[in-house]
Structure 1
Amino acid sequence: MLKHNEAKKGGFAMSILKWYPTTTVYDRLAGTTLDDLFQHFHRGLLTGNTETGDFTPHVELLEKKDSFVLRVELPGVKKEDVDISVNLGVLKIAGEVKGDVEDGSECRCSERTYGKFLRTFELPSTVDADAIAAVHEDGILEICLPKKKEALVEEKRIKIA
């Protein structure tokens, strides 16, 4: 009798198990603290994940003098399969990772994830929503979030008497 996630084909049996490394309380607390720091440091550019499938693309956020740059890992996803929109200060990135198993073939083992995804980000008031631009190249979606001119004013130093 075969157990869950175990397949037997032509005398070949394989069990696919996901491995989760053991974590300590410290590891969990450290992750939470880093997430909190990440959210606080970037002046309100908060990651509010809304998932509609098993796939959640990883992101990287950079801050430059005149803009934020959000990079999203989307390997194997065509730009036609991604939708980016902004509404009421929320940036939404939605799409789908499609399977590519050929007709007549049978998948014996797959660790890839397929399905729809949705990521949302609350934009800080310093971002100029009308000037947002995106480029998709080599599996990386790069979204440039320019800062408003008012946000680019340099800090004025005050002398203490």
Structure 2
Amino acid sequence: MMRFDPFREIEELTQRMDRAFGGAVNGQAARLAPPIDVHEDEQGLELALDLPGVRPEDIQIEAENNTLSVQAQRKYNRTEGRTAHRVERAYGTFARTFSVPSKYDLSKVEADFDHGTLTLKVPRSEAAQKRTVQVRTSTGGQLSVPKTVDAEQAQGQQTQAQQA
């Protein structure tokens, strides 16, 4: 009679699920999608990916044709003479690909890696920057500086015009 080992049962179930749903098969690493936060402000996009246990030198970032790709790898270190009863942390290749609108400049992407979090900053392109356009008037062929009118002053002028 064989003794019941719940850890063995869980490991066998995990291996069967991996084979059925495209996980690690025949020693090949599984491709995992790390969680991400995406924020946008006036300066551009900020993407933050969780890559715990990944070394900075094991991260590849590619930006091309409005596509930003991040790939990283975390290897599982097997030690001789040691039995793993439970392995729940994700190992293998982490990969995410993002379509980035053309209003962002992928040639100026900045990447920072701190405590397992990869932060990518994608600035807006020069053409997509918000601009203030001044309206000028022409007086006798010469352009004058736009006039700024105080709101209270303008209201007083309207009241005087209505009384007249």
For structure 2, the 5+ residue unaligned runs are 15-28, 134-164
Give the share of equivalent positions with the same residue, in percent.
29
Bigger helix fraction: 2
Q: Which runs of 4+ in 1 moved over 6 A?
A: none
Q: CA deviation at 1:147?
A: 0.5
Q: CA deviation at 1:80?
A: 0.8
Q: Secondary structure at the match of 1:150?
A: helix
CA distance in 1, matches of 2:49, 2:132: 31
1:76 aligns with 53
Q: CA deviation at 1:113?
A: 1.7
Q: CA deviation at 1:12?
A: 6.0
Total equivalences in the alignment: 115
Q: Larger Cα Rg: Structure 1 or Structure 2?
A: 2
Letter in 1 for 2:44: S
Q: CA deviation at 1:114?
A: 1.1
Structure 2 residue 24 is the aligned partner of structure 1 residue 13:
no
2:118 aligns with 141
Letter in 1 for 2:117: I
CA distance in 2, matches of 1:57, 1:87: 21
1:19-54 deviations in Å (ceiling 9; x for gaps): xxxxxxxxxxxxxxxxxxxxxxxxxxxxxxxxx824
Cα 1:89/1:54, change in 2 over 3 Å: closer
* Match runs of 1:27-106 below 5 Å: 53-106=30-83
CA-based RMSD: 2.4
Q: CA deviation at 1:117?
A: 2.5
Q: CA deviation at 1:151?
A: 1.6
Structure 2 residue 161 is the aligned partner of structure 1 residue 153:
no
CA distance in 1, matches of 2:129, 2:41: 11
Highest RCO, 1 vs 2 (Cα 8 Å, sep ≥ 6): 1
Structure 2 residue 88 is the aligned partner of structure 1 residue 111:
yes
101-110 or 89-98, larger mean C-alpha shift? 101-110
Q: Secondary structure at the match of 1:120?
A: strand
Letter in 1 for 2:5: A
For structure 1, the 5+ residue unaligned runs are 2-7, 19-51, 157-161
CA distance in 2, matches of 1:75, 1:101: 18
CA distance in 2, matches of 1:59, 1:147: 20
1:121 aligns with 98
Aligned 8 A contact 1:54 1:113 in 2: no
CA distance in 1, matches of 2:91, 2:51: 11
Aligned 8 A contact 2:63 2:107 in 1: no
